[in-house]
Amino acid sequence: MSVNVAQLLARSAHVYPALPALARGGNVICTYAELAGRVSRLAAGLARRLSPNDRVALVMGNCPQYVELLFACWHAGLCAVPIHAKLHPKEFEYILDNSGARLCFVTAGLCGAIASLQASVARLEEVIDVDGPHYAALAAGAPMAMAPRQADDPAWLFYTSGTTGRPKGVTLTQRNVMASILNYFSDVDAIAPGDALIHGAPMSHGSGFYTLPHVAHAGLNVVPESGGFDPAEIYALLQAHRGVTMFAAPTMVKRLVDFPGDADTANLKTIVYGGGPMYVADCKAAMARFGYKLAQIYGQGESPMTITAMGKAIHADTAHPRYEQRLASVGHAFTGVEVMVADAGDKPLRAGEIGEILVRGDPVMLAYWDNPAASAETLRHGWLHTGDMGCLDEEGFLSLKDRSKDMIISGGSNIYPREVEEVLLRHPAVSEVSVVGQSDPEWGEVVIAFVVARGSQPEAADLDALCLDNIARFKRPKAYRYVEALPKNSTGKVLKTELRKLL
């Protein structure tokens, strides 16, 4: 038997019953006592319909009901399946079918799209609009006692963003989820009761995960009125709430920094960034605007938000002789999490040597959902094989190179796109850049840079000169392609496969 994650809410409701729990925009919707009450009634409504460990899909834009549904699922002994609301109907169909969800909760705009899938998804019994009367009725009955949970019971099925191929369902257990929450406190940040979390990023992913430590310490979950990420709205919300944390992909941090004006950010406590590379130039620009309020995490669905972290103190330690290298890294292994950089035979490599990043510890998934072949492949020898390449330094800082499939081999030498991208971003007229390999009869592959200009288009000769000043000659792009925008997936990751197709 282990502690049910839903216990975190019950505890906060006991210790801080009157503190605000949920807000939409600037308006508080309920206190912790009220939220816990609603959750136990909603759980009872779910338990009347479903059996322990059944999956409940959430195809919902960001909304306050996200928080109550996650906790109601756990309270009732069920497994939540949060699904990114901006996926394609075919992807919804695949995930609903693969997870075997019996109920699916949706927000207004998604009712039609999901309801029409009921015919093709055999096990899906009902689609419920969280703003409709049926939802209200579900939560109208008597409360239930919290269901007991085992450590390995599934709590959250997390579907990978699938930059290549079909998304895979990652089975995150009660143990995995609890470990990630405790790791937030050990290595990312402290949360005081009454601090706020603004959900500018999708609650189906990282932002939703950070709901959990905030509920554990009676923080206020704030859902922007727009339900999404709008820099003007975020700056306005910073005037309404205090002790504010946000989880933001690096592209979102950049949009906040580039947003004109000098809004007061005194209420901003922390921006946790991760999910994709944060370039040193962008990180410094963010600190120039917000102060030393940045913390980084590196994780993946398979070890949610929890592989390595770099806290605010390292971001602020500007006098350190290796400050730049540290900023370019993803920090240290989380407390209680082991990170190894290994060769193809899973043997540890020495500091400075590049290999695949392997991880083990309590946050690491139990398995992929209903996919023993992929589980055996990814979890072999007791380690999670992340598919990310990187190296450790003598001080234990992990630097990510690129995913093995993104590495470019030119004239027999390995080139990691990120290294080239870091250099090109130092040019003031470069807003965004992504580097890929193009096959070449002479070199095997050559480096091509896709550049989004800021204002006027930078001269290729200037970009070349910048590269020659900073990196080996063979890493210099052979061509620069200027584009309006980089193709990105629903969580903001640049789709290098799409760029390669353009070549």
Residue with tokens 């947003």: 259
User: Which amino acid type is present at position 307?
Assistant: I
Q: Is 384 in the site for ligand AMP (CB under 6 A)?
A: no
Q: Is 276 in the site for ligand AMP (CB under 6 A)?
A: yes
Choices 25-33, 93-101, 192-200, 274-282; region in contact with ligand AMP by CB under 6 A:
274-282
As a whole number of angstroms, the distance between CA 465 and CA 275 comes to 31
The answer to whether 297 and 309 are in contact (CB under 8 A) is yes
Choices 5-13, 52-60, 238-246, 293-301; region in contact with ligand AMP by CB under 6 A:
293-301
Give the shortest CB-291-to-ligand AMP separation in angstroms: 20
Size of the site for ligand AMP (CB under 6 A): 17
Q: Is 86 in the site for ligand AMP (CB under 6 A)?
A: no
As a whole number of angstroms, the distance between CA 417 and CA 316 comes to 27
Choices 54-62, 188-196, 270-278, 339-347; region in contact with ligand AMP by CB under 6 A:
270-278
Among 204, 296, 306, 410, binds ligand AMP (CB under 6 A): 296
Choices 14-22, 127-135, 273-281, 371-379; region in contact with ligand AMP by CB under 6 A:
273-281
Among 24, 284, 289, 403, binds ligand AMP (CB under 6 A): 403
Q: Is 385 in the site for ligand AMP (CB under 6 A)?
A: no
Q: Quick one: which of 389, 381, 441, 450 has its CA closest to 420?
A: 450
Whichever of 172 and 330 has its CB closer to ligand AMP, that residue is 330
Give the shortest CB-280-to-ligand AMP separation in angstroms: 12
Which residues, at least 6 apart from 151, have a Cβ–Cβ distance to it below 8 Å? 2, 173, 174, 175
As a whole number of angstroms, the distance between CA 204 and CA 67 comes to 11
Q: Is 277 in the site for ligand AMP (CB under 6 A)?
A: yes
Among 173, 300, 306, 399, binds ligand AMP (CB under 6 A): 300
Q: Is 173 in the site for ligand AMP (CB under 6 A)?
A: no
Question: Widest CA span of the chain, in angstroms?
Answer: 73
Give the shortest CB-296-to-ligand AMP separation in angstroms: 5
Alpha-carbon radius of gyration of the chain: 23
Among 196, 400, 423, 451, binds ligand AMP (CB under 6 A): 400
Q: Quick one: which of 19, 28, 11 has its CA closest to 75?
A: 11
Residue nearest to ligand AMP (CB): 300
The answer to whether 303 and 284 are in contact (CB under 8 A) is no
As a whole number of angstroms, the distance between CA 240 and CA 252 comes to 20
Q: Is 386 in the site for ligand AMP (CB under 6 A)?
A: yes
Give the shortest CB-262-to-ligand AMP separation in angstroms: 28
Cα 438 off chain centre by: 29
The answer to whether 247 and 206 are in contact (CB under 8 A) is yes
Choices 116-124, 174-182, 214-222, 268-276; region in contact with ligand AMP by CB under 6 A:
268-276
As a whole number of angstroms, the distance between CA 496 and CA 503 comes to 11
Choices 92-100, 139-147, 297-305, 361-369; region in contact with ligand AMP by CB under 6 A:
297-305
Q: What is the dihedral of CA 297, 302, 307, 309, to 10 degrees?
A: 10
Q: Is 298 in the site for ligand AMP (CB under 6 A)?
A: yes
DSSP state of 488: B
The answer to whether 492 and 275 are in contact (CB under 8 A) is yes
Q: For residues 113-152, which are near ligand AMP according to CB under 6 A?
A: none
Q: Quick one: which of 369, 421, 438 has its CA closest to 155?
A: 369
Whichever of 85 and 121 has its CB closer to ligand AMP, that residue is 85
Q: Is 211 in the site for ligand AMP (CB under 6 A)?
A: no
Pairing of strands 303-310, 332-333: antiparallel
Residues that bind ligand AMP (CB under 6 A): 160-161, 274-277, 296, 298-301, 330, 386, 388, 400, 403, 491
